[in-house]
Amino acid sequence: MMQLSITACLLGLAVGQLISGPLSDHYGRRMPLFAGFIVFGLASLAIAFTHSVSLLIGLRFIQGLAGAAGQVLSRAVARDLFSGKALTQFYALLNSVNGLFPIIAPIIGGYMIKFVPWTGIFILLGAIGLLLAGLILLGIPETLKPEHRLTGPVFQSFLSFGTLLKQPGFFGELLITGVVYGSLFSYIAASTFIYQQLFHLSAQSFSLIYALNGLGIVIGSALPGRLTGVSTYRQLISGLGFCIVDSVALLLGAYLQWRLVTIATLIFLLVIGVGLLLTLTTAIIMGKTSENAGGASALIGLSQNAFGGISSPLVGLFGTSSLAPMAGLVLVYNLIAGGVAYHIHHQNR
């Protein structure tokens, strides 16, 4: 029953993406963003004081539903403010943060649980949600001008999904960003087994190497903002080629039982590639939108969370006694992304 609480939160996160994005295209960014963080904060605090598993599961769904606004609308606000190279540079900064926190959050939670009961984590989340809601009111102006909003009945905002998916290459690019995110969560799901069970690292050593890989994501995310002289799609193709070669080496290392330092280096290079690709795919997809940036951002989030959600159980399904399941899944993801990117690039020539 308690495991269902994670599923409920992820389900809420996926559904929330599809709600907050189109609503922001109709009403503007600021109020949906503010409302999302208020509800997230209150739901988190309510979880800390509940004594019913069923109620906890329901509140976790609401928490994910509301928290999705932050993911979706941060990308949409950036699209309102920037375009071209400036947009890519801003997404490099944004994805550095988005890539780093899934890595360090478990470390923070694991450290807290040594000193406070589990409810303390949700009290912290509630405080963060309410603090961010206040900062939104004080520091974020409305970025979507009324003349740029979708008009007509609210339900028509949700029809923007169909319009976006009809654009040439749009669905393929969503698939690429989804499988790249799946690669990241394949690593996250398998990291404990790889470093602590296969290589027998202590908890302290594991935390250190885990944090180092978080830094790798930040480095990769920042690269597109530096490589402004190279076209975004050329960077994407090159980055996918790099990740394919790296994941082939990782799979080979799993079967040949290479040493820790070699495997750790290959994983570090992999997460740098993931950070690079997440920034590039976000910039490419959001660069195609104008009036329906919220809808586009929602579809990015849905694709990423869908592949991230299925990757963790997939890695476990094929066993945790070897590095091979994680390396194999990452290779499959990279091959899919590379094939789709090559097809789109070939069509556009």
Place of tokens 């590639």: 273
SS (H, E, C) the chain: CCHHHHHHHHHHHHHHHHHHHHHHHHHCCHHHHHHHHHHHHHHHHHHHCCCCHHHHHHHHHHHHHHHHHHHHHHHHHHHHHCCHHHHHHHHHHHHHHHHHHHHHHHHHHHHHCCCCCCHHHHHHHHHHHHHHHHHHHHHCCCCCCHHHCCCCCCHHHHCHHHHHHCCCCHHHHHHHHHHHHHHHHHHHHHHHHHHHHHCCCCHHHHHHHHHHHHHHHHHHHHHHHHCCCCCHHHHHHHHHHHHHHHHHHHHHHHHHCCCHHHHHHHHHHHHHHHHHHHHHHHHHHHHCCCCCHHHHHHHHHHHHHHHHHHHHHHHHHCCCCCCHHHHHHHHHHHHHHHHHHHHHHHHHC
Q: Is 200 left (phi over 0), alpha (psi -120 to 50) or beta?
A: left
Max intra-chain CA distance, the chain: 61
Identify the pLDDT of residue 319: 65
Supply the Cα-derived Rg of the chain in whole angstroms. Answer: 20
Q: Taking the CB of residue 306, how many other CB atoms lie within 10 A of it?
A: 17
The answer, yes or no, to whether residue 335 has pLDDT greater than 90, is: yes
The answer, yes or no, to whether residue 8 has pLDDT greater than 70, is: yes
Identify the pLDDT of residue 349: 67
How far is the C-alpha of 270 from the C-alpha of 276, rounded, in Å? 10
Identify the pLDDT of residue 98: 75
Q: What angle do CA 198, 202, 204 make, to 5 degrees?
A: 135
The answer, yes or no, to whether residue 255 has pLDDT greater than 80, is: yes
Burial class (CB in 10 A: 0-12, 13-18, 19+), 307: buried
The answer, yes or no, to whether residue 77 has pLDDT greater than 70, is: yes
pTM of the model: 0.86
Average pLDDT, the chain: 89
CA dihedral over 128, 130, 133, 134, signed as positive or negative: negative
The answer, yes or no, to whether residue 21 has pLDDT greater than 70, is: yes
Burial class (CB in 10 A: 0-12, 13-18, 19+), 133: buried
How far is the C-alpha of 102 from the C-alpha of 274, rounded, in Å? 13
Identify the pLDDT of residue 279: 92
- Predicted confidence band at 152 (pLDDT cuts at 50, 70, 90)? confident
Residue type at 194 in one-letter notation: I
Per-residue pLDDT tens digits for 155-207: 777 777 888 888 889 999 999 999 999 999 899 888 888 898 889 998 778 88
CA dihedral over 264, 242, 167, 145, signed as positive or negative: positive
Which distant-in-sequence residues (6+ apart) come within 8 Å of 155 by Cβ? none
The answer, yes or no, to whether residue 331 has pLDDT greater than 90, is: yes
The answer, yes or no, to whether residue 61 has pLDDT greater than 70, is: yes
Which distant-in-sequence residues (6+ apart) come within 8 Å of 76 by Cβ? 21, 24, 25, 29, 144, 286, 293, 294, 296, 297
